[in-house]
Amino acid sequence: MEKISGMGKETSEISDHIKLHIENGKILSLKTHRVSKSVEEHIKEAVGLILDRLTYPTLVPTLYTIIKELAINACKANQKRVFFEERGYSMLNPSEYAKGVREYREIFSEEMSNEFGIKAKKKGYYCLINFKFNDDGIIIEVINNTPIAKEEEKAIRERLEKGMVYDDIAQFYMDNADTTEGAGLGLALILIMLKGEGIDPNFFRIIIGEDSTIARLEIPLSDKFISVRDPNQI
């Protein structure tokens, strides 16, 4: 276990793919390369501890589901990057990107997810979940250190726009049951879940950088909450 200077702070290597930054018993960040059962348990633990402290325990299921979905998306994006690199496909070339995505969807499995999670770690790709919170609100960021292709950015915008239209999850599923973009429907569902909790979906943003992608969720708990904004947000 590697200690960080400062009372009550430490970085803990939980396993070969989980690292936690803890302060005064609270998880402040979780770094991983694949979403295993252990990672899911640590996400649930962090959410439970934070919301219990802020006396909002009813939000635990929703917040846990959202963070888990975002973490899975981040790890899959990194693993897809490894997949493309191994096959020599460029994510900047539209035809190669389309071919790579098609092959990725056709052959990828749970077993390959574990394998490519290890490969992603070796290449330095990761998913980082940051928790920031006080009595006024919560800010959660799920970061993966790979850029997004133009086609992916367009798809993300479309999914978020679709999520803004619906308020009912059941109706959303009925209208989108035959979509070919099933893997990306989670983003739209996140917006619907936030609406169901009375949280403005505009507090959820995707921030695209040159070498990273950040999914940020802000949850105001008082009128003193100050939102963070970025010019590159979707």
- Degrees (nearest 5) of the Cα angle 180, 214, 221? 105
Kindly compute the dihedral angle of the four CA atoms of residues 166, 76, 74, 231, in this order, to the nearest 10 degrees: -70
For residue 219 the two structure tokens come to: 């949850």
Dump pLDDT digits (tens) for 210-229.
889 999 999 999 999 988 87
- Per-residue pLDDT at 7: 44
Helix (H, G, I), strand (E, B) or coil at 177: coil
Lowest-pLDDT range, 10-24, 167-181, 204-218?
Answer: 167-181
* Cα separation, 225 vs 223, whole angstroms: 5
Under the banding of pLDDT at 50, 70 and 90, the label for residue 123 is: very high
With CA atoms as reference, report the closest residue to 10 among 27, 31, 32, 33: 27
With CA atoms as reference, report the closest residue to 124 among 153, 158, 185, 82: 82
Q: Is residue 1 pLDDT above 70, yes or no? A: no
Dump pLDDT digits (tens) for 7-16.
467 888 888 8
Q: What is the pTM of this model?
A: 0.88
- Per-residue pLDDT at 114: 87
* CATH architecture of structural domain 21-220: 2-Layer Sandwich (3.30)
8 A C-beta contact, residue 16 and residue 9: no
With CA atoms as reference, report the closest residue to 161 among 134, 126, 139, 188: 188
Domain range list for the chain: 21-220
